Amino acid sequence: MNRRKFIKNTLWGTTGISLFSGFYAWQIEPFWLEFVKVKMPIQNLPDGLVGKTLMQISDIHIGKRFDHHFVIESLAKAKEFNPDFVVYTGDYVSANKDEIQFDKLEETLHSAVHGRLGTIGILGNHDYGRNWSQSAVADTLSEMLSSKGIQLLRNESAEVNGLHFRGFDDFWGTNFNPEKAMQGFDRSKANIVLCHNPDVCDLGVWGDYNSWILSGHTHGGQVKPPFLPPPMLPVKNKRYTSGLFGLSNNRTLYINRALGHLWQVRFNVRPEITIFELQQG
C-alpha cells in the first residue's frame, strides 16, 4: 500500500470510528439503563428486614433536554422488582436557564415507583430553580412529590418500618441545615442518610454517624474516558464519582450515576437504578 492510500484509509477509518462513537454516546448509552445490585449491611438492622430490598432512583432531570418518556419507561421496568423501600435522591427537574417543566414531571410522577414498606425522597439543587435560589420552586415540587406518595424529608428524619431515614435538604439550595436533620440521631438504630450532594460527606456535620449515605448529583461525570477519571464533575472532592466509598467513622457512601441527564450524552457511564439488599451489619 502506498503512502497516499494508507493515509486515505486511515482517515476514513478514524472518521468512521468517530461518527459511531458520537452516535453511541448520543443515542445509545443515554438510554441503556443498568440495574445495579449492591449488598447493604446495616448495623442494628431488625431481623424482619434482612433480605428486603431498597431501590435508589436519582436525578431524573425532567426538562427540555431529553425525552422524559425514557424515564417513564425506566420506572415501569423498576416496578417489576417490587422493592420494599424506594428512595429518591433529588433533581427531579432540570433548571439552569430552562423553564421548569412541571407538566412533564407531573406526567412522569404518575409512574413513580413506590416501596411496599415505604417511599422517601429529598430535594437536589435543580429542585431550587435557577441559580438554586428559588425556594418557591422547591415548595411546589415538594407538594407534587408528596401528592404522589413520596414522603419528602427536608432536614428531617423519619422511621419507616424499622429503618431510620434522615434527609438533608440540598447543599447548594436555600434550606441546607444538616444539623437539624441529625438532631436526635441514635446509633443504636438502623440508619440511612439521604444527601443529594456527596461533598457534604466532608463537612463537620456528622458527629458519630456510622452508617450509609446515599447520594446522586454527579451523574458519574456522564463521560468517562477509558482508564481516566471523568473530566467534569460538579463536586469539590473529585474522588466522588460514582459507586461505593468507605469514609471515616465507618460511614459508607454510595453515589448513584443518575437515571436522567442534563445533556443527552453518556460514554462509559450508563444510567442507573440501584437495588440494595439489606443485610445485618
Mean pLDDT of the 163-177 span: 98
Which residues are CB-contacts of 107 (< 8 A; sequence separation ≥ 6)?
A: 68, 72
Return the closest-CA partner of residue 161 out of 37, 278, 281, 276.
278
Look at phi and psi of residue 167 and say left if phi exceeds 0, alpha if psi is from -120 to 50, else beta.
beta
Mean pLDDT of the 256-269 span: 96
Instruction: Identify the DSSP state of 24.
Output: I
Q: What is the pLDDT of residue 78?
A: 98
Query: Which residues does residue 246 pair with via DSSP β-bridges, in sequence order?
Result: 252
More confident position, 96 or 276 = 276
Q: Please compute Rg for the chain using Cα positions.
A: 20
Q: Alpha helix (H) ranges present in the chain?
A: 3-23, 69-79, 102-109, 135-147, 178-181
Q: What is the pLDDT of residue 1?
A: 54
Q: What are 121-132's pLDDT values in tens digits?
A: 999 999 999 999
Per-residue pLDDT band for 99 (boundaries 50, 70, 90) equals confident
* Cβ–Cβ under 8 Å, residues 173 and 132: yes
Per-residue pLDDT band for 94 (boundaries 50, 70, 90) equals very high
Please report where in the chains the cell 473529585 appears, as a residue.
238
* Cβ–Cβ under 8 Å, residues 120 and 88: yes
Q: What are 216-232's pLDDT values in tens digits?
A: 999 999 999 998 999 99
Per-residue pLDDT band for 4 (boundaries 50, 70, 90) equals low
Per-residue pLDDT band for 15 (boundaries 50, 70, 90) equals very low
Which residues are CB-contacts of 216 (< 8 A; sequence separation ≥ 6)?
A: 58, 59, 89, 90, 91, 124, 196, 255, 256, 258
> How many separate helices (H) and strands (E) can be counted in the chain?
5, 12
Per-residue pLDDT band for 21 (boundaries 50, 70, 90) equals confident
Q: What are 189-217's pLDDT values in tens digits?
A: 999 999 999 999 999 999 999 999 999 99
Helix, strand, coil % (nearest 5) of the chain?
30, 25, 45
Q: What is the pLDDT of residue 20?
A: 60
